[in-house]
Structure 1
Amino acid sequence: MRQAEEKQIMVSASVSCMDLCRLGEAVKEAEQSDISFFHFDMVDGRFNKCFILSETLLEHMRKAADLPIEAHLAAYEPECYIDLYARAGADYIAVHYEAMEDPFKVFEQIRKAGCKPVLAYKASTPPGGDFVQLAAEVPWILKLTVNPGFSGQKMQEGAIKHIRRMRELLDDAGLKTKIQADGNINQETIPKVVKAGADILTGGTSGLFLQGKTVKQCCGEMLEAAERAKGESTDGTNE
């Protein structure tokens, strides 16, 4: 499996927001920027009321992509899909806290399939009493800041509070687990999520894929906004 290069601040590219009719070209353009990995959303029609991206598309994308791919299974019974997406080329597989009866068993299935597990939370779901124990099993937490599957949504303010609480719990436990913020991530919202504790930013239609700019330009601007926000947090200003 491919492994994302760990950096203080990372950007992932949301595949559902890319030009799927010219996916190979879009992948190469994205890889010319400073993104760390691709974020590939799958929604099963039950977890949210839409169907997006199949393992067949992932298989074709894998042939064009050199960077790691994170398959985000916004699905109930994720056990049914893990092997499909692993075989199609996923390197990381994100599964939802709300959709699992036994997360540790699901994490083990993901590892056996040759991938790394990621723990995902809906925008409305706060960290529970088992958060630290689960977070110790994964390289990062995927925290949605909008509902999965639909672009153009506004960030839910409650999700920012959840990120802040997650970061407090991780720091208190001495864990280096990262937090990925996904949904309406742009110049306006990046300072909010970074100051709350996010260090992976999933870019989509509002931040990474903007008309009139290259992905490289947009990614650079996202990283600059994050670095400024991180510096402000360190200085204790503009909180």
Structure 2
Amino acid sequence: MSKEIIIAPSILAADFARLGEEIAAIDAAGADWIHCDVMDGHFVPNISFGADIIKAVRPMTKKIFDVHLMIAPADAYLEAFAKAGADVITIHAEAGPHLDRSLQAIRALGKKAGVSLCPSTPESALEYVLDRLDLVLVMTVNPGFGGQSFIGSQLEKIARIRNMIGGRPIRLEVDGGVTRDNAAAIAAAGADTLVAGSAVFRGKSSADYAANIAAIRVAAEAGRVPKQHDSSAQRGEPVLVR
């Protein structure tokens, strides 16, 4: 049996004036994880929020906080995000010279470790760190802003990374332009964890968010292909699910 599909709404698309309420709403709407996009205005051309905001909203849900650090350097801030309540900390392969060391630091803090790749970064960047990873995040837009369109060329990269992962218990996450219309193709390529911002936060209520999450989940499940349905003994048990 394959890893279940995880839907991780990105709070970058939430109403920041009501951020705590928005997190509670997507929790009630069926979000599996809460995706937190941290941007520094340096590594990416936008500034979002930092560890203090994550700490402030952490009590709003018991769901996994999936913290995506689009910052450089990242190492100096890992402890702050760990203490703020991150469960998974993902750093960019492009953001520093010592990726292996950074992943060791995340694991030493007791957190799950992820690596993200920008669209132009080849999957070969993962080759020598795979056994330090709990998650690979494929960016399917250029990082920095929400609401961008999915870059279709990344589907082949997703499939290649799925093959690289093999039997390791590593989740394969996709972030950028994910909608109910392309979720099937993304899952068919091998992704099991989908980040969606604008596609989730359409509407005004938790009921609207629930319908949006459900539509993405149904599409992703429908897109799965037979090769994804191998045994948990071969692929590893699902991880990071509460």
Q: What CA RMSD, in Å, does the superposition of the two structures yield over aligned residues?
A: 1.9
Alpha-carbon distance between aligned partners in 1 of 2:84 and 2:197, rounded to the nearest angstrom: 23
Equivalent residues in 2 for 1:162-181, closer than 5 Å: 162-171=157-166, 174-181=167-174
Aligned to 1:85: 81
- The structure with higher relative contact order (CA 8 Å, sep 6+) is 2
Equivalent residues in 2 for 1:200-219, closer than 5 Å: 200-205=193-198, 207-211=199-203, 214-219=208-213
Alpha-carbon distance between aligned partners in 1 of 2:227 and 2:111, rounded to the nearest angstrom: 38
Aligned to 1:3: none
How many residues get paired? Answer: 225
Structure 1 residues 188 and 165: CA distance shift in structure 2, 3 A: same
Aligned to 1:118: 114
SS at match of 2:153: helix
Q: Is the 8 A contact 2:203 2:209 kept in 1?
A: no
Aligned to 1:63: 59
Alpha-carbon distance between aligned partners in 1 of 2:106 and 2:165, rounded to the nearest angstrom: 23
Q: Is the 8 A contact 2:104 2:132 kept in 1?
A: no
Once the 2 structures are TM-superposed, how far is the Cα of residue 113 of structure 1 from its aligned partner?
A: 2.3
The answer for unaligned runs of 5 or more in structure 1 is 1-5
From 215, 226, 230, the counterpart of 1:234: 226
Once the 2 structures are TM-superposed, how far is the Cα of residue 73 of structure 1 from its aligned partner?
A: 0.7
The answer for unaligned runs of 5 or more in structure 2 is 229-242
Q: Is the 8 A contact 2:185 2:220 kept in 1?
A: no
SS at match of 1:149: coil
Alpha-carbon distance between aligned partners in 2 of 1:155 and 1:81, rounded to the nearest angstrom: 29
Mapped pair 1:189 → 2:185: no
The residue identity in structure 1 corresponding to 2:189 is A
Identity of aligned residues (%): 26
Once the 2 structures are TM-superposed, how far is the Cα of residue 132 of structure 1 from its aligned partner?
A: 4.0
The residue identity in structure 1 corresponding to 2:191 is A
Deviations for 1:76-99, whole angstroms, at most 9, x for unmatched residues? Answer: 211021112112111111001111
SS at match of 1:81: helix
Mapped pair 1:105 → 2:98: no
